[in-house]
Structure 1
Amino acid sequence: MTPDEWYMSLPIITRYYVTLSFLTTAGCALEIITPFNVYYNTSLIFRKGEVWRLLTNFFFFGSLGLDFVFHMFFLVKYCKSLEEGSFRGRTADFLWMLLFGGSLLTMLAPFVNIEFLGSSLTFMMVYVWGRRHQYVNLSFLGIFNFTAPYLPWVLLAFSVMLGSSPKVDLLGMVAGHAYYFLEDVYPRMTNGRRPLKTPALLKALFPTEQPLRMAALGGGAPAAGRGAGEGGEDEEEGEEARQRRWREQQQQRWAAEGAAAAAGGGGGGGGGGGEHED
């Protein structure tokens, strides 16, 4: 696969995020812009109207070097894995997750004095990925094995061992757990209520492929007797029920595949990325 083919194979949200991150970081390295133009500063945003800082701080990952490559590896790996995995066919829902996480991080950042939130947003994605792949086995540097939900904690411990501050990673874990609780746990506790329901505008911009996925998974297609003119409240409730059944089927499928992998003795390979994904 050529670099062009690899780049175009990335799902749309991952591709745009990686592109903007590279352009912003490269622009700072080439001194076209400086980090002072893009960092998060509430005084400059609200007193001088430099509102672009609300977004640009998520796209700067330090100087071009090994650390940047490391961050891009994690960004591509887990952003792509989520978008093509548990969010497959639901681009609007994935973008809404990133917007929710980015907004929460933006509100919390002034309390912990963090000026660039890209790493925290990436760590949020790692946290959500781990929670949704709880039966996947991983290996850290070939030293010990663990399951995916512990991945953020392993990375946090490794970062602290290298002398880095834990607050960036911890902030991402807070945002990740908030999303996981509100989207995956709370609906099961309240008979399907979703406080993070994706806005209709995003649904219109990125139409869902949910009905096709439902049919492929045996969940049934939309009722044939429901015509286009019967939209209304009943149709919306029916769509929510289909989405809820689809998520339940996905979780059951992940659990079954993870249990099968564990029964077959599937452990992580060498390094930090030895895993069995669905």
Structure 2
Amino acid sequence: MLLFNWLCIVLLMIPMIMSVLYVWAQLNRDTVVSFWFGTRFKASYLPWVILGFNWVIQGSMVNELIGNLVGHLYFFLMFKYPMDLGGRAFLSTPEFLKRLLPARRGGVSGFGAPPPRRAAPQEPAAGGAGGGLFGRNHNWGQGNRLGDD
């Protein structure tokens, strides 16, 4: 029994951590994170940076890849497919877990915020400003000059 438990922890720990990290990175994709020696990049790249880093250090990336794939599948079925593509929700948190672990406690809410729904594409207004690439109209705005307050 101890050997079985040890094998489960050793074999499944990295994929589980990587899948949770992948979902966090997708929910907080614009957050800037730091890695070794102050390397900074957006959180959406963190699971892939860790995968590459472990490949260089250990020569293997199987556990990290499995974790990223499981995390991607969960993120797609939980957030992307129902919200962006209008499909039905395949996954939901059981009610007893919602009662046991409430999402809001003391002004802090749970695991992150789901990404906002993608807005429906709008038809460009006729005679808009700026011509643009491939016939698209752009309204770039006035902008700010450097040195202005």
Residue 151 in structure 1 maps to residue 46 in structure 2: yes
Deviations 1:70-120 (A, max 9, x none): xxxxxxxxxxxxxxxxxxxxxxxxxxxxxxxxxxxxxxxxxxxxxx20111
| Larger CA Rg, structure 1 vs 2 | 2
Q: Which amino acid aligns with 2:5?
A: V
Work out which of the residue numbers 181, 188, 194 in structure 1 matches 2:89: 194
- 1:203 is matched with 98
Work out which of the residue numbers 66, 69, 72 in structure 2 matches 1:171: 66
- Cα RMSD, aligned residues only: 3.1
- 1:160 is matched with 55
The verdict on how the C-alpha distance between 1:137 and 1:203 changes in structure 2, with shifts beyond 3 A counting, is closer
Work out which of the residue numbers 128, 132, 139 in structure 1 matches 2:34: 139
* Unpaired segments ≥5 residues, structure 2: 117-149
Residues matched between the structures, number: 113
The verdict on how the C-alpha distance between 1:126 and 1:207 changes in structure 2, with shifts beyond 3 A counting, is closer
Overall identity of the aligned pairs, in %: 30
Find the aligned partners of 2:101 and 2:63 in 1 and give their Cα distance.
31
- 1:65 is matched with none
Find the aligned partners of 1:122 and 1:135 in 2 and give their Cα distance.
20
Q: Which amino acid aligns with 1:145?
A: R
Find the aligned partners of 2:76 and 2:59 in 1 and give their Cα distance.
28
Find the aligned partners of 2:82 and 2:27 in 1 and give their Cα distance.
15
Q: When the two structures are superposed, what TM-score results if normalisation uses the length of structure 1?
A: 0.35
Find the aligned partners of 2:51 and 2:92 in 1 and give their Cα distance.
30
- 2:5 is matched with 38
* Unpaired segments ≥5 residues, structure 1: 1-32, 41-56, 61-115, 217-246, 253-278
- 1:125 is matched with 20
Q: Which amino acid aligns with 2:60?
A: S
Post-superposition offset of 1:198: 1.6
Secondary structure of the residue aligned to 1:117 is helix
Work out which of the residue numbers 72, 76, 79 in structure 2 matches 1:184: 79
Deviations 1:131-161 (A, max 9, x none): 1111111233236432111101111111111
More helix by share: 1
The correspondence of residues 214-233 of structure 1 with structure 2, limited to 5 A, is: none
